Amino acid sequence: MNIYIENEYDKEMKERLDYEKLIEEVVNEAVDYVKCPYECEVNVTIVTNERIHEINNEFRGIDKETDVLSFPMIDYDKPGDFTGFDEIDDYFDLDTGELILGDIVISYDRVISQAHEFNHSVRREFAFLVAHSMLHLFGYDHMEEDERVEMERKQNDILINLGITRE
């Protein structure tokens, strides 16, 4: 699996966090959790509130900051269903043969503020946002109540499997 991590956060990271290791752990657990049968590729970029605001406005037409953005590269018939992917060359990197899941953009400013707001660790908040975004890359969403409940359960399962709980 290739996980490409780019830290564009141009401020001092006040909270100590081995974000590269954490991203790898959560991405790998999410891939295992949904039983993805392929080696995968994921891109993760860490940015400021200002930058995620710009990206959100540019790509989604929403003129405000957010905590995380997900840009899936795959159209699923059903979330987490990999049936028939072997026949779709566009989903795979021609050089590595890996399934290209998509891009995750995380606002580190929001990680810090939400960790304090929800009274848990920065590590837990960061891991939560990666797990949440990975589920979006697998086609899950939370537009309807039943989808929201399912996605929350899956996010919690992924974090519990890693021993990352609300502290």
162 CB neighbour count, 10 Å cutoff = 16
Non-local (6+) Cβ contacts of 138 within 8 A are 30, 34, 36, 72, 76, 79, 80, 101
- For 63, the domain range is 2-161
165/23: higher pLDDT: 23
Burial of 156 (0-12, 13-18, 19+ CB in 10 A): middle
Average pLDDT over residues 129-147: 94
**116: annotated binding-site residue?**
no
Name the domain count of the chain.
1
pLDDT confidence of residue 166: 74
pLDDT digits (tens, 9 = 90+) for 94-131: 999 999 999 999 999 999 999 999 999 999 999 999 99
Q: Decide: 98 and 43 in contact? Cβ < 8 Å.
A: no
Q: What is the domain-level CATH number for residue 101?
A: 3.40.390.30
pLDDT confidence of residue 167: 63
> Residue 167: inside a domain, yes or no?
no
> Residue 115: inside a domain, yes or no?
yes
> Residue 64: inside a domain, yes or no?
yes
> Residue 108: inside a domain, yes or no?
yes
pLDDT digits (tens, 9 = 90+) for 55-104: 999 999 999 999 999 999 999 999 999 988 877 788 999 999 999 999 99
Gap between the Cα atoms of 112 and 13, Å rounded:
10
pLDDT confidence of residue 12: 74
**132: annotated binding-site residue?**
yes
pLDDT digits (tens, 9 = 90+) for 39-55: 999 999 999 999 999 99
